[in-house]
Amino acid sequence: MKDFFGTDGIRGTVGIYPLLPDFVLKLGQASGFVLRNSVENRTQNRTEHLSSVENRTQNETERLSIVIGRDTRVSGNMLQQALTAGLLASGFDVIDAGVIPTPGIAWITRLLEANAGAVISASHNPVEQNGIKFFGQNGKKLSEEMENRIEQLLNSPETIPLNPRLGRLLDGQYTHELYIQSLINEHSKTSLKDLKIVIDCANGAASYIAPETFGRMGARVIALHASPTGWNINVNAGSEHVRRWVEEMGMLIQHYQADFGLAFDGDADRVVLVDNEGNLIDGDYVLGMLARYLSDRQQLLAQSVVTTTMRNTGLKTYLEKLGLKLYETPVGDKYVVEKLYEIQKTDTRQGVIGLGGEQSGHIILVDKDHATGDGIRSALYVIRAFLESKEKTMAAFAATIGKTPQIIASAYVGHNDRLDKNALNMLKIETQKQYPSLIEISLRYSGTEPLFRVMLESDNGIDEH
């Protein structure tokens, strides 16, 4: 078990170790040191044939770079500056993209052919928490091996040496426009001019980019929670709030006579929808809708969908009716991405899209340019599928996908000792004995928060949307 890295980078409460400026400074140095060594090892064989003069010329001109962005938390600037200082000390040029959705950093890292990307964000978590996660040059999260090597340096008492070629801090605000244009261009034949959409931006990273993107595509946008103060991210707003209190969004959709609503989380890698009748369209529904859309157009990778063990049985039943294969992974988007790339080796057709995700609304559409979940991009795909379906309402479009009764709950457990796998399995067996009608039981500790999560699902039929 790692000391610092969880399923989604390093997370914690700001001001409590490890989320302190001195630790984040060392994290910047350690990650820069490991990333630099990785790059140098990869290029060693490529440069062996060069003469000593050519080698020297290359070493003098080649620079390493990393793109950094953050969400709107008040602690973001402090942590970003500490991380930046460590990376500059390790010889990396740092491209500061400012406040931008997490998937924007992953995409920009690939576009600019930077050596890595980093995001300061705690996603849907409360404002007092924050986190740091890294992307490799391919836009995917760092491997377990890389995280382990970084942790070794973090745990070492040895001082990480300063690189004599210090990095430069570069302005990356121009990347916002590149990211917006990429979202629009992917759906260049789709016009939203006949739609009115309520958009909850969670007072987070989507606050400017989401309304701007949908507005440019012709939609009439009612932007909610799009005025971040540094303290109000995810406060009674965003995708997790809407999942719990969907009726609030439903009332607003009715008030504004909108066609449907969208809700993003703090860093905009998640999205959930609310249809015109006030029904929640979560990640399970989105996976079903996009699976049908992509499969009908022969664009679905290996005629399959990847989801986690927290998926609803209704989704499984629906995909089986479509003749599609369902793969399940442990909870965590990185496991979904790994499985999608594994499947990709079996289907080399051009233009196919790997589809996976989680009930939370973290939907992953993998192609040659994208390797992580993107809430805005996922929403655009759903809207495009809806418009091409010729259904008159979003409620009608989602109606064919049903769900079995399911309860998901969380309890705060702090950082005390945790039950091991055997104890959790015994608890699961006892629960099944007491409630034989349960068809799915999931008991686990969160990889991003000090929470214990429970999912129970019964066989009392399917609730049609």
**Positions marked catalytic:** 123
Contact at 8 Å (CB) between 120 and 83?
yes
Q: If DSSP codes are grouped into helix, strand and coil, which group holds residue 176?
A: helix
In degrees to the nearest 10, what's the CA dihedral of 411, 446, 98, 229?
Answer: 0
- Amino acid letter for position 184: I
Q: What is the spatial distance between Cα 87 and Cα 136, in angstroms, rounded to a whole number?
A: 15
Contact at 8 Å (CB) between 152 and 144?
no
Contact at 8 Å (CB) between 261 and 210?
no
Contact at 8 Å (CB) between 165 and 198?
no
Q: What is the spatial distance between Cα 322 and Cα 339, in angstroms, rounded to a whole number?
A: 21
Q: What is the spatial distance between Cα 79 and Cα 19, in angstroms, rounded to a whole number?
A: 8
Nearest 5°: CA angle at 197, between 363 and 199? 60
311-334 per-residue burial string, b: 16 or more CB within 10 A, e: under 16: bbbbbbbbbeeeebebbebebbbb
- With 0-12 CB in 10 A as exposed, 13-18 as middle and 19+ as buried, what is 259? buried
Mark residue 422 as left, alpha or beta (left: phi above 0; alpha: psi -120 to 50; beta: remaining): alpha
